[in-house]
Chains A and B, each alone.
Chain A
Amino acid sequence: MSVTTRNSLLDRVWEPFRQQPGSRRALLLMAPLMVFEFFVFIAPFLMLLRISLSKQVRGLPYEAGTFTFEAYSEVLSSEFFHGLITYSFKLGIIATLLTVVLATFYAYAIWRSEGLTRTMLLFSVVLPLLTTLVIKTYAWVPLLAPRGTVNELLMAIGVLQSPIQLVPNTTGVIVGQVYIVFPYATLAVYSVLSTLDWEIVEAARDLGASRPRSFFEVVLPQAMPGVAVATVVSFAWSVGAYAAPGLLGAGSDRTFAIEVETQMLVGFNWPVATALSAIMLVLMFVSVVILYTALNSVGGDVSHGA
């Protein structure tokens, strides 16, 4: 295409925008995404709420046009669902704690390193991040199996006499889940750390802070926004864990997400599946807000405690 024909084409594209003032044009540019988010994100959630308020029927996903709180009361009153929800939150809390501590440490290591080491460390989180969830969980099967690499290794160095059960087991679920969210958490902390000036750590050490102390005194308070994001992401995904408990867990490692999937695709009980989803969303939202406020006020406390 020659420059002139391309330009005339561009001018034709421009024509409809021409009469619009500048800020309106900016809105027009944002419009496609806004429309998309409305129709593919917001509207579906409204639909979800509507269906969670429908009546359950045999043979069909739900009965259209009905309105009842049946599904909600079923979920809220059943011991079985309480167990699922508690398990999901426990898994979420343990996995998040482990992830955030390790990820903060690793992000700090990446920040401190330079050259090839830094590239390698970054690579070690970016590659798993861009690898499918299926592989990330599946990879632990040969590692953690009773005759798998980890057991063999521990037995060879004499830590264990006989293999221990790691998969399918809660241990396996936690390892797998930490592995899944770790890259995201690390990068969240790292992107905040990378805006900091290394000199402040030197200044702290020069003023008499030991290395661990200088980390807790000047690095951590500033990394807090990143740590908060890492916590929220790890928590939300771990509470909603599906793949790790599904593949690495025993029958008792049943999260709400697995139940939702079963109700949805196997049981064809859409009102219960959607009600459970909605309840979990609300519970998670509330806990995330509490977590986030708490974390930010911890950051604040540190900075006011001279």
Chain B
Amino acid sequence: MSKIELENLSKSFGDLQAVDDVSVSIRDGELLCLLGPSGCGKSTTMRMISGLETPTSGRVSIGGEDVTDKSAYERTTSMVFQNWALFPYKSVLENVAFGLKMRGEGKQERREHAREMLTRVHMDGYEDHNPTELSGGQKQRVALARSLAVDPDVLLLDEPLSNLDKRLREEMEIELKEIHEEFEKTFVHVTHNQDEAFTLADRIGIMNEGNLVQVGEPSEVYHNPKNRFIEEFLGDTNFVSGEVSAVDGDGAVVETDFGATIEFPLAADEDLSQGTTVTVSLRPEFMSLDAASATDGGQKTAARADGNGSNTVVGTIDTVLYRGSTIRYFVETNGESMFVERSVTEEGELDEGDAVQVSWPAEEILVFRPDGTRVET
């Protein structure tokens, strides 16, 4: 059993509250990604799990045992550092064997064990190299082998891939996932790269300013962000602000600042009063883009709800950006700019200057109150 429980964990450095009352239960064998902007307290949280940092308050338990008062070398966690922290004066093999040596394992035994681990991370043949002679990806593998060699219950990875280039990073993501499946250990992985988090994670925990804002499966976090911070952090989106102009039994209407009207359904127990200023997120991947119908009169911008509950706005394509497998269109509507993404395989070529009609399904709209909280739809 190696489930991790963090209870009301806090850490302050002087006046700075680095981690603020974080509680989460990490399941046995799970790969949890901690995601968040720089300085939000991810590393500090990890270091408290590993024992390298003592919490100001709160408790940490691993596998049901309270380890708050245990120091790093007594915990069954192992950390992979961002800069790998390989011992420069020791060979690759000695690096990997280090943890076993500390446990008093015999020389022959630990060397053998270390060799096995190196083979597992495809670094056999490098036993006698000095870590300084290795490339970033190779150092990464050695650091991983070194941590796995001590057979920890929990593996803590603090942005281990951030120093690698994109291609290598993607390769290592897959490898990490394989290792996670093979070793069946609990992994906590810190990153500020959302692609990495979505690729790897069983669950994602998103942090901001020391708080753990939301924990959930990738699709949950993606489709159901708890507040505006998460929506903004997770990816590019169009934020449109406006004022609620009408609320009825099962829906609401927002009059946007750029003149269009947005309609969306409202959850039963949600009370949204008329006149509230809200921010609406229109995700580019859910929006569709069509050449404007001739009858619409070209430049005149209008947004109306058609019979299907899908909202529409008319505008002109301003810029076209080719981004590999997708194309991003910037559309100018009434002085405001919004962007829409389409797959390159989609029908109907569009060019700069074309008059277009942008529409989106009402159920994919996310609405946030001024304090950032979600309006349930």
Contacts and interface: CB of A to CB of B under 8 A. Distances in A.
Interface of A: 197, 199-200, 202-210, 213-214, 217-218, 221-222, 299, 302-304, 306
Given A209-B102, A303-B94, A306-B97, A199 B150 contact: no
B150 A306 contact: no
Contacts of B114: 306
Contacts of B150: 207-208
A209 B102 CA distance: 6
A306 B101 contact: yes
Contact of A204 (B93, B94, B98): B98
Contacts of B94: 303, 306
Please classify the interface of chain A as helix (H, G, I), strand (E, B), loop, or mixed, using the class held by over half of its residues. helix
The size class of the interface chain B forms with chain A is 20 to 34
Contact of A207 (B71, B78, B89, B93): B78
14 contacts: A197-B83, A197-B85, A200-B85, A200-B88, A202-B81, A203-B79, A204-B98, A206-B79, A208-B102, A210-B73, A302-B89, A306-B93, A306-B98, A306-B101
A207 B90 contact: no
A202 B86 CA distance: 11
B52 A306 contact: no
Nearest to A203: B85
Given A203-B87, A207-B147, A214-B73, 8 more contacts: A199-B85, A200-B86, A200-B87, A202-B81, A207-B146, A217-B98, A221-B89, A306-B94
A202 B52 contact: yes
Contact of B81 (A203, A213, A221, A299): A203
B377 to A, nearest CB: 45
A208 B151 CA distance: 12
B277 interface: no
B102 A306 contact: no
Interface of B: 50-52, 71-73, 77-79, 81, 83, 85-91, 93-94, 97-99, 101-103, 107, 110-111, 114, 146-147, 150
- Most central of A202, A207, A218 by chain B CB within 10 Å: A207
A213 B93 CA distance: 19
B53 to A, nearest CB: 10
A206 B94 CA distance: 16
B91 A306 contact: yes
A207 B88 contact: no
Closest 9 CB pairs of A and B: A306-B94, A207-B99, A208-B102, A199-B85, A203-B85, A205-B72, A303-B89, A206-B79, A209-B102
Contact of B52 (A206, A213, A218): A206
A207 B102 contact: yes
Contacts of A205: 52, 71-73
A202 B72 contact: yes
Nearest to B81: A199
Nearest to B158: A199
B78 A303 contact: no
A106 to B, nearest CB: 22
A142 B147 CA distance: 56
B85 A202 contact: yes
Contacts of A203: 79, 81, 85-87, 146
A143 B166 CA distance: 65
Contacts of B51: 206
B283 to A, nearest CB: 39
A33 to B, nearest CB: 34
A303 B90 CA distance: 5
B97 A206 contact: no
Contacts of A207: 73, 78, 98-99, 102, 146-147, 150
